[in-house]
Amino acid sequence: YDDIGSNRYQFMLEGFDSDWSNWTDETKKDYTGLSEGDYTFRVRAQNIYHHLSGEAR
């Protein structure tokens, strides 16, 4: 059986972040202090075997 609790995630908010976040097991990301504008939230995952998912936007 595969431990889905071992999945890790990276986040990036285009227009705010300059690079991907560090890998984390957190499944949510909060942003504060955003100026009015257009942003694209990006997320990708890595499983217990270090296989990367496709990127979601």
Look at residue 6 in the predicted model and tell me its pLDDT: 85
Query: Does a structural domain hold residue 52?
Result: no
Digit-coded pLDDT (tens) for 6-16: 899 999 999 99
For residue 53, is it within any domain?
Answer: no
Q: What is the mean pLDDT of residues 37-48?
A: 96
pTM strictly above 0.85? no
Query: Token pair for residue 55?
Result: 């990127």
Full residue range of the structural domain in which residue 11 is found: 4-46
Q: What is the mean pLDDT of residues 22-36?
A: 95
State the average pLDDT over residues 21-40. Answer: 96
* Averaged confidence pLDDT in the chain: 92
Mean of pLDDT values over 10-33: 96
Q: Is residue 8 part of a domain?
A: yes
The answer as to whether 56 is a domain residue is no
CA distances from 24 to 43, 49, 54 (A): 11, 15, 17
Q: Is the dihedral of CA 12, 18, 20, 24 positive or negative?
A: negative
- Number of domains the chain is built from: 1
